[in-house]
């Protein structure tokens, strides 16, 4: 990829924007899961591609911009995505690949500055205020990041540069895909006020409807409303919305924000009442959660299961273990006990989930063996499985009971 391709598509005719007061970057990968899949399917570049479980009740995890032009977006039911873009290629997700690329991208960020706050596997905030003396201006650092991501992984990212996290995130969204947008401190109001009010953090569908009823459609409209009026209508959130409308957001970049929990859940392709099938899915989920725990360097003490009935009633059960663990065998055993204790034998389930909570760094956790108790070796065995999966893919090593299944769930 040439240097010119890494520059913003439409440079300002007034010259480079003043980024001297803009230490915050929001870096967001473009159609991340789909972009990673295209590395293995270069023949599909430039065509509509959707990543997600292909079943009727699956959802879209990611879509190329060619598919998005038809209205496809993440979290859309796969059945609707197929209707509006029937020519799209559907690719089942490969979570292991995404985790590996995400880890490498975060390492690029960490090499720039220790002030990195990951938001998800494909986006993060960076405070580069301390790195500018060493590497150059904020926009130069943003181009450096974009170039390294493209060179190392062959995918693109968009970067917003601003004086606050809120404005930087909006800027990265505005310049997608494969763009860079600097919003100088002096131009924040000019940038914000034409945007739809739904662009503000905290404005969901209901809040947007309430604002529109008051005649507030843009951020600029909101900025002109007295704070007292907004507080009367929306309580404490009113003052927050007013501050955002004027670009006031003093939240710092918080590096290494610890995970509060790690979990996965699956929706069956049709409702299931067979305990053996449900337990096989609990095993698969336990394997995935344990692998994610080890990859993150965590162990957890509390196992939680989520069981959603066919009528959408959701039941959760949890249990705190004597010792923290990242071993799938232990997580699975506890998950099965919680399922059995829920009294849902032969009850039709639509979804099951497994989650580990009460996390702590694995390095700080020690296992107390009882008198005469021996190490089982399960953790070491599962670590060896992790290595095989990273090298050969997610299907390389699996428990025997998961090799053949009558039907499969759909990743959410």
In the numeric block, which tokens belong to residue 133?
């003396």
Give me the long-range contacts of 195-204 (CB less than 8 A, separation at least 24).
Answer: 195/170, 195/219, 197/221, 197/222, 199/170, 200/241, 200/244, 200/245, 201/166, 201/244, 202/237, 202/240, 202/241, 202/244, 203/241
DSSP summary character for residue 362 = G
For residue 127, give the nearest of 26, 257, 23, 248 by alpha carbon: 23
Q: Which position among 117, 123, 143, 382 bears the catalytic label?
A: 123
Contact between 155 and 32 under an 8 Å Cβ cutoff? The reply is: yes
Phi, psi for residue 15 in degrees, rounded to 5:
95, 180
Starting from the edge strand earliest in sequence, which strands make up the sheet with 24-29, in order? 116-120, 123-127, 24-29, 157-162, 180-182
Give me the long-range contacts of 206-211 (CB less than 8 A, separation at least 24).
Answer: 207/234, 207/237, 210/234
Is there a binding annotation on residue 250? no
**123 in catalytic set:** yes
DSSP summary character for residue 253 = P
Is there a binding annotation on residue 28? yes
CA of 175: how far to CAs of 30, 172, 183, in Å? 11, 5, 11
The Cβ of residue 396 has, within 10 Å, a number of other Cβ atoms equal to 13
Rounded Cα distance, 349 and 268, in Å: 8
- Which residues lie closer than 8 Å to 395 by C-beta, 6 or more apart? none
Active site (catalytic) residues: 123
Output the known binding site for Mg(2+).
28, 122
Output the known binding site.
28, 122
């Amino acid at each position: 990829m040439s240097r010119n391709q890494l520059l913003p598509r439409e440079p300002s005719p007034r010259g480079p924007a003043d980024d001297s007061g803009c230490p915050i970057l929001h870096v967001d990968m473009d159609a991340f899961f789909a972009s990673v899949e295209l590395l293995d399917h270069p023949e599909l570049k430039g065509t509509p591609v959707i990543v997600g479980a292909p079943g009727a009740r699956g959802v879209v995890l990611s879509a190329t911009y060619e598919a998005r032009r038809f209205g496809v977006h993440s979290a859309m039911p796969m059945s609707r995505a197929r209707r509006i873009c029937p020519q799209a290629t559907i690719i089942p997700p490969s979570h292991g690949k995404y985790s590996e690329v995400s880890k490498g991208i975060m390492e690029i960020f960490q090499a720039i500055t220790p002030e990195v706050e990951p938001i998800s596997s494909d986006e993060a905030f960076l405070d580069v205020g301390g790195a500018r003396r060493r590497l150059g201006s904020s926009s130069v650092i943003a181009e450096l990041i974009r170039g390294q991501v493209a060179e190392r992984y062959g995918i693109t990212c968009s970067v917003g540069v601003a004086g606050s996290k809120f404005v930087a995130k909006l800027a990265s969204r505005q310049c997608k895909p494969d763009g860079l947008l600097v919003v100088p401190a002096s131009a924040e109001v000019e940038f914000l006020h034409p945007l739809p009010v739904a662009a503000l953090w905290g404005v969901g569908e209901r809040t947007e409807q309430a604002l529109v009823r008051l005649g507030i459609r843009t951020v600029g409209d909101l900025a002109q409303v007295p704070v007292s009026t907004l507080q009367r209508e929306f309580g404490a959130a009113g003052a927050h919305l007013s501050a955002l409308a004027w670009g006031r957001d003093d939240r710092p970049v918080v590096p290494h924000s610890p995970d509060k929990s790690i979990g996965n859940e699956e929706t069956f392709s049709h409702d299931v009442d067979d305990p053996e099938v449900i337990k096989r899915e609990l095993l698969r989920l336990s394997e995935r959660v344990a692998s994610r725990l080890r990859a993150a360097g965590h162990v957890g003490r509390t196992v939680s299961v989520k069981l959603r009935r066919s009528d959408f009633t959701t039941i959760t059960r949890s249990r705190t273990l004597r010792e923290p663990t990242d071993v799938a065998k232990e997580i699975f055993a506890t998950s099965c006990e919680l399922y059995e204790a829920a009294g849902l034998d032969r009850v039709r389930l639509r979804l099951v989930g497994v989650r580990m909570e009460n996390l702590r760094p694995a390095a700080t956790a020690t296992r107390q063996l009882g008198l005469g108790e021996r190490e089982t070796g399960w953790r070491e065995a599962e670590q060896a499985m992790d290595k095989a999966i990273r090298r050969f893919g997610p299907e390389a090593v699996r428990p025997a009971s998961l090799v053949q299944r009558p039907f499969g769930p759909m990743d959410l």
